[in-house]
Structure 1
């Protein structure tokens, strides 16, 4: 006997009651199931997307990951594709933007201790890759001419581009500002008076490749063309809005290099960029390349940009200073402004240490987690403050806050801890190792067990899985000051030889200046060949 068709209006009414219940209960599971059943039966495409989007927004507003997050963003993609098929480009772009903002909301990926994207990068992004609208936005538009070879009769003109974040560019710009073979210019898209108003607004960046926003496209072309015509090579810092903006226009014969750190892999930007206008993508860690290419497999296509792994540019020699006499029992945690740093894990390690010896203490360096970021951040912040209220009065923990003299602070740290759930390379840990603090590194859960992970970035004996293992390693390497000092010297030697700018800068010279641009790791060719087969 056929089931009678329930009117969409009635289903929507029931679904919205379920959404209202989501905002009032700590046990939302039944309401989410009701919502799912109702939304699946709604025939109107736009109404279905609205219902699932409202429910997702309600859960995200509470700091929770919706059960129907993938269905919600997929429903918006279905609307986008229908609008695109009907020739309504503006409406298609708007629906795609809503889908992207749902799929890559910060709560599921940034403000939690695990992420559906890192758990299953292929599965989580499958609906996006299947969308006609998303494919049209990221479709290769190419360039009219190939990038030119480096000039032989004059200095190479290098343009370094960022948008409001030049944190990791200092050594690079200093190097090439003083290099006789380079003429350097820098461009911050956020402060350039002509470009700043253009280099924002997701919807018009999405609509332009769909054939809309002709006036915007002309303005971007006019603003960027003088910079592109001047430069031989453009180095774009962060594979996010700046990179997406720079690739809105044909770069001509100018070579485009984009560096991706970590944050960008958890955003929508790599999914909407035209990589046919990028010649090289630089990753600062193999595991970030592995995760990003799983989520964005067109980066492994035969016509994709060259992919490279180059360490960050870090001045580590300034951290190589003698330790103070009381460093042995001080564990350092540098940087704790994000939930991903998981300082509560570090506090659990400290509790285990102090159960054996109350001389151990934790020094926390850097700003704290802002509870205003999201409900998820507020929840973690409250739990962390409760922990600290217990430990700080005993002298077990000291919060130093941001410091202008981290090398000086680290002279009093005997062990440097990475408690993070994810990192690109964890600069604070590398600096601590260079300073002669013994590294203890959590096996970052976001990438644990993969071909490239914490265990392939750092020496195996640095890496632990549990707080108990971390505590045991710390107790072993601090059993005496002689043992700790010897382990610290070895860590410093390793850090300086592997990651210091004196070592790394030759790779950047080869990438940006030399005719030999093959600075990739040995696994790159097999990765591409396996993907092509």
Structure 2
């Protein structure tokens, strides 16, 4: 960032009570400050304690807004703000001092702010209180989340699993979801060295809220139960938020009684500042993160593991898929799934009796916590903000008025993220002329855009390019992008090339073809590759990915699904673990394909082959077409490109950005876009190369992973959205050679 970004932060949380949501507000402001933002934190509730807000007072660029004390909301009278009051107050604060982004937490709050409409396009919503399973995702909830996603700039997701789940159910969320995991500050005090000895009695520790599903009441019985096994122990607790749960009417009183001394061996320290809570925990031997099994399917990350890990504490916690992904399946201090209270006590006893298990657990927790530091969170924020708020080129910044950019065409799907970038650039004013069909438009609207714009970009060299080349305003510039299908039609030869300043092709091969077919001057035809959102696509691979092939788009027949099946068949002859996933619309949904008898015959043969050939039985999965490609690619280890012809073929590039290994047949021009190491002379050679990457490698590690890392770096260097956007920006502002 070269300019100061201004952020408003509000959470539907009470910062007087220490729990994960309140700590989120504190750490978010700390990370934004480290990232260089001017940040205003608006409090929901009157200040009763400064445990969480006092540490923010001296941070650079941070202001804490206290609505109750500053009498900003009429009628608040010492009560927490309602979502309606909060939305109205945030709008007034923005009117007085506009913000660049509004960071919100809480589904009810976000829904209210979205409905009010003041912050459309500026909301960065952190959502955890949303459905996290298919059974919970009602149509009403999905529609609500779709409304939120449609107007938010970003959706902040705590984990990769939550991000993929949201993208699967809410298509509008795709491309807007970014990771924002919990952040743990580095201890501001010396952490005690932990040898093989423990305190006597052994000190267990729990910090945070007290709630039935967090098993905090059963935890208070652990010292007594362990005493029966000959282990002297005491439980140290920190926190002051006790849930009042209607489903457990006696919980609040029973919990309070246990903390007051009703349970032997419990040492309650009450509510404490985060630093002091960490200091207390650092003086203990073993952290407790054991919860009710109903939370095992949660898509959220346990902050307790990270906080205790930062202190070198081993943690007893449930065995869940999320925890196994975090700490490994062989982590020694898991409580079994659907565990009883005795199972939890046994896990604690093992930690006490087996120094090796305790040491391994502490090392794992410490290593995991090192990936979630406050400085790491600040770096993530800085990266997100740099992409969302790009700097204006010098030539634009020097202009007396914004550069007017018009974009026209019937199908702008390949420009979506470029348009987002153009709109975010200071000094650019962007307007669209969206044609409802290839050759149908509103001439008056198109004329208005042509007369207004300093530069017009026409997507596809079709009828829109012909029209704008004949109605160009003197002194303006015209840029046309040509893909593939246009060269087989008459439109390129109908374009007034003298009125066109630049024709953009996506590959060198199609640049040569365009020049040869049209006779256009070579100096007017340039190459800018398709863009790939490498940040969105770079996600951890799921188990089994090394043995899964992927194809994106199988229509028309020249995409050659049949050759993909050849590769799969040869691989499964060696190892039945190989699978093929196809993400595509079926060919019969394209009328212009399905009307051709030869196309129907091709797919009839392919589908019969999958149904009748024993080697292919059950090995091909068709996944729904949609924008959730980044999540889908987590399962894919190799992306195939078996086409007869392509202008660019985006799917191998997307696969590379995800860490998958591309495998291409030598369609014309492929070797000018992709490294020759990924291109194979035949399906047999392709299968042999793919197999060699995973042979004798447990789980597909080694050569496959190394090849994926090379491919990922090549995608960043060649196709990254920010690099392609820079090239396009140069065309728009006229700084490219010859313009």
Give the shorter-chain TM-score range: 0.5 to 0.7
Number of the residue aligned with 2:495: 273
Q: Which runs of 4+ in 1 moved over 4 A?
A: 195-199
Distance 1:245 1:376, change over 3 A: farther
Cα distance in 2 between the residues matched to 1:172 and 1:368: 28
Report deviation, 1:375.
Answer: 2.0
C-alpha contact (below 8 Å) 1:251/1:277 kept by paired residues: no
Q: Which runs of 5+ in 2 are unaligned?
A: 1-394
Give structure 1 stretches of 5+ with no counterpart.
1-148, 200-219, 448-452, 520-533
Structure 1, 355-364 or 227-236: larger mean CA deviation = 355-364
- Equivalent residues of 1:283, 1:307 under 8 A apart: yes
Correspondence for 2:602: 380
Cα 1:518–1:439, aligned 2, differ >3 Å: closer, same or farther?
farther
Q: Deviations over 1:17-65 (max 9, x none)?
A: xxxxxxxxxxxxxxxxxxxxxxxxxxxxxxxxxxxxxxxxxxxxxxxxx
SS in 1 for 2:430: strand
Matched residue, 2:564:
346
Contact 2:538 2:657 in 1 (8 A): yes
SS at the partner of 2:480? Answer: strand
TM-score normalized by the length of structure 1: 0.59
1:256 paired with 2:474, answer no
Asked if 1:325 is matched to 2:543, the reply is yes
Instruction: After TM superposition, list the pairs within 5 Å mapping 1:137-286 onto structure 2.
Output: 152-163=399-410, 165-190=411-436, 220=443, 224-286=446-508
Larger radius of gyration: 2
- Aligned with 2:675 (options 443, 459, 467): 459
Residue aligned with 2:546, SS: coil
Distance in 1 of aligned mates of 2:476 and 2:601 = 47
Residue aligning to 2:631: 408
Q: Which structure shows the bigger proportion of residues in helix conformation?
A: 1
Q: What is the total number of aligned residue pairs between the two structures?
A: 335
CA separation in 1, counterparts of 2:650 and 2:718?
Answer: 13
- The equivalent residue for 1:300 is 521
Distance 1:462 1:364, change over 3 A: same
Specify the alignment match of 1:43 in structure 2: none
1:247: how far off? 2.2
| 1:426 pairs with one of 649, 656, 663 | 649
2:705 paired residue number: 485
Structure 2 CA distance, aligned partners of 1:172 and 1:438? 26
Task: Please say if residues 317 and 496 of structure 1, whose CA atoms lie closer than 8 Å, have aligned partners that are also in contact.
Answer: no
Map Cα deviations across residues 139-170 of structure 1 (whole Å, 9 max, x no partner).
xxxxxxxxxx989321110001111x111111
- TM-aligned CA deviation for residue 224 of structure 1: 3.7
Within 5 Å, give how 1:43-122 maps onto structure 2.
Answer: none
SS at match of 1:464: coil
Match of 2:527 among 304, 309, 315: 309
Whether the 8 Å contact between 1:162 and 1:188 is mirrored in structure 2 is yes
- Return the offset for 1:250: 4.4
1:364-379 mapped onto 2 (5 Å cutoff):
364-370=582-588, 372-379=594-601
Q: Structure 2: how far apart are the matches of 1:432 and 1:390? A: 30
Query: Deviations 1:287-314 (Å, cap 9, x if unpaired)?
Result: 11112222222x137xxx6211111132
Deviates more, 1:249-258 or 1:317-326: 249-258
When residues 514 and 198 of structure 1 are mapped into structure 2, their CA distance, relative to the original with a 3 A threshold, is closer
Distance (whole Å) between structure 1 residues aligned to residue 587 and residue 681 of structure 2: 24
Match of 2:246 in 1: none
- C-alpha distance after superposition, 1:399-422 (max 9, x if no partner): 113134211111111111111111
Aligned to 2:414, what secondary structure does the other structure show? coil
Distance 1:487 1:262 in 2: 30
- CA distance, structure 1, for counterparts of residue 692 and residue 673 of structure 2: 22
Of structures 1 and 2, the one with the larger relative CO (CA 8 A, separation 6+) is: 1
| Contact kept in structure 2, 1:391 and 1:397, CA below 8 Å | no
CA contact (8 A) 2:567 2:687 kept: yes
Q: For the residues of structure 1 that align with 2:414 and 2:611, how far apart are their CA atoms?
A: 34
Q: Any idea what the Cα deviations from partners look like across 1:262-282, whole Å, max 9, x if unmatched?
A: 222222211222212211100
1:518, distance to aligned residue in structure 2 (A): 5.1
- Structure 2 CA distance for aligned equivalents of residues 360 and 455 of structure 1: 27
**8 A Cα contact 1:442 1:464, kept in partner:** yes
Does residue 494 of the first structure (1) align with residue 699 of the second (2)? no
Distance (whole Å) between structure 1 residues aligned to residue 441 and residue 651 of structure 2 = 35
Q: Is the 8 A contact 1:171 1:314 kept in 2?
A: no
- 1:328 and 1:314, CA in 2 relative to 1: closer, same or farther beyond 3 A? closer
Q: Deviations over 1:66-105 (max 9, x none)?
A: xxxxxxxxxxxxxxxxxxxxxxxxxxxxxxxxxxxxxxxx
- Give the equivalent residue in structure 2 for 1:473: 689
1:397 and 1:197 map into 2 onto residues whose CA distance is 40
- C-alpha contact (below 8 Å) 1:364/1:397 kept by paired residues: yes
The match for 1:55 is none
Indicate conservation of the 8 Å contact 1:247/1:274, yes or no. yes
**Is 1:287 matched with 2:509?**
yes
Does the 8 Å contact 1:343/1:419 carry over to 2?
yes
Corresponding residue of 1:441: 664
Q: How much does 1:435 deviate?
A: 0.7
CA contact (8 A) 1:439 1:491 kept: yes
CA distance in 1, matches of 2:514, 2:641: 22
